[in-house]
Structure 1
């Protein structure tokens, strides 16, 4: 009988360890960072993988507000890390990729209304232009914010890197990636933009396989002053951030239900098992 009890307790212990690894259930609230990934906002009710309706994102913002979540920029996460200070108990980083025009027309007023902050990861070589990269969920009618708009939103939106022309780093050589980073920094300097050196990998693509090439890739990011690299992964991060070039974001899709959204905010994903 005692052996059965030991086996059952061992199974339970292992199960709890797995749960903690997957969902960070047993960490203090001040140790958790939820980084939510969005793209575009529609005003006509249209929704797909990267486009969320304005009505739905308002509902999500209401949930975050009513449940006392605090929104921070990546630069503020960095500052708290450097000062060895704690996070607010419920910390969320709202991130929006690409820099779509609706981030100015729709997102920015909502952030002002809710007193929220967000980070827009910009395709820096396409500022003020039409979308010109391939993708199932983008089209030539989608436009990107221009310089003047980027300057206007600074009270509530922090800018970050999202490559020069929306290339997938997983498909580029190290030399090509270095050239891309150089071009990004030339644009930032030329346009006199305030861009925090955090990079969201387009398509979530980077040198994922551990080894020499990954180390060279991370060394290259460090060489160009990139402090953080953000991937997709649908996990809650633990503060202070350890794997600074493999920070995980939680993919918020326009097709998610409110129930899905709540699960993602709490657990990092909507499917628990």
Structure 2
């Protein structure tokens, strides 16, 4: 009987550890940061994996505002981490990938309305151009913000890196990645843009397998001056951020219901098990 009780107790401990790893339930609120991943916003009600309707994102912003969430930039996290300060009890980072034109026409006014901050990870070699990379959810009608628009949004949107032409780093050699980052830096310098040294991996792709190659990959990022790199992962991050080049984001899809969104914000994902 004692043996059974001990085994049940050990199983409970293992279960609680698993739950904490997955959902960070037993961390103080000031030790958790949720980083949400968005892309494009539609004004005609269209929704898919990367496009959310304006009506739905307004509903999500209302939820964050009414539940006292604080929005920060990546540079804010970096500043708090360097000063060894805690986060606000409910902290979220709103991130938008690629730099679609609707981030200027639709997102920027909403951020001003709600007094929110967001981070836009730009495909820096395609500023002001049409989308020219392949993908199930992109088309030739999608356009990217131009330089003037990028300069105008600085009060509420911080810029970050999203590669030079939307390449998947998992498919590139280390030399190609180094060249890609050099090209990004050249654009930033030439266009005189204020870009924080954080990168969101396109397609969530990077050298995932731990070992020598991953270390060399991270060395390339460090050499290029990149402080933080963001994957997907769908988990809440513990603050201070320890794995600076494997920060996890929560994928917010246009097809998510409001119930899905709330689960993702609270737990990091909509499916608990």
Q: Paired residue for 1:239?
A: 239
Q: Paired residue for 1:100?
A: 100
Please tell me whether residue 252 in structure 1 is matched to residue 255 in structure 2: no
Give CA deviations for 1:192-248 in whole Å, capped at 9, x if unaligned: 000000000000000111111111110010001000000010000000000000000
Displacement of 1:175 after TM fit?
0.6
After superposition, the CA RMSD in angstroms is 0.6
Matches within 5 A, 1:35-46: 35-46=35-46
Give CA deviations for 1:159-206 in whole Å, capped at 9, x if unaligned: 000000000000000110011000000000000000000000000000
SS state at 2:164 partner: coil
The number of aligned residues is 273
SS state at 2:185 partner: helix
Q: TM-score, normalised by structure 1?
A: 0.99
Give CA deviations for 1:132-182 in whole Å, capped at 9, x if unaligned: 000000000000000000000000000000000000000000110011000
Q: Paired residue for 1:153?
A: 153
SS state at 1:21 partner: helix
Displacement of 1:79 after TM fit?
0.2
Displacement of 1:3 after TM fit?
2.4
SS state at 1:206 partner: coil
For 1:70 and 1:240, the matched residues in 2 are separated by: 17
SS state at 2:113 partner: helix
For 1:93 and 1:31, the matched residues in 2 are separated by: 14
For 1:230 and 1:7, the matched residues in 2 are separated by: 39
Give CA deviations for 1:54-83 in whole Å, capped at 9, x if unaligned: 000000000000110000000000000000
List gaps (5 residues or longer) in structure 1.
none
SS state at 2:37 partner: strand
Q: Paired residue for 1:72?
A: 72
Q: Paired residue for 1:142?
A: 142
For 1:172 and 1:149, the matched residues in 2 are separated by: 31
Q: Paired residue for 1:182?
A: 182
Q: Paired residue for 1:192?
A: 192
For 2:4 and 2:212, the matched residues in 1 are separated by: 46
For 1:19 and 1:115, the matched residues in 2 are separated by: 34
Q: Paired residue for 2:262?
A: 262
List gaps (5 residues or longer) in structure 2.
none
Displacement of 1:9 after TM fit?
1.5
For 2:164 and 2:109, the matched residues in 1 are separated by: 27
Matches within 5 A, 1:84-99: 84-99=84-99
For 2:195 and 2:230, the matched residues in 1 are separated by: 15
SS state at 1:248 partner: strand
Q: TM-score, normalised by structure 2?
A: 0.99
For 2:200 and 2:17, the matched residues in 1 are separated by: 30
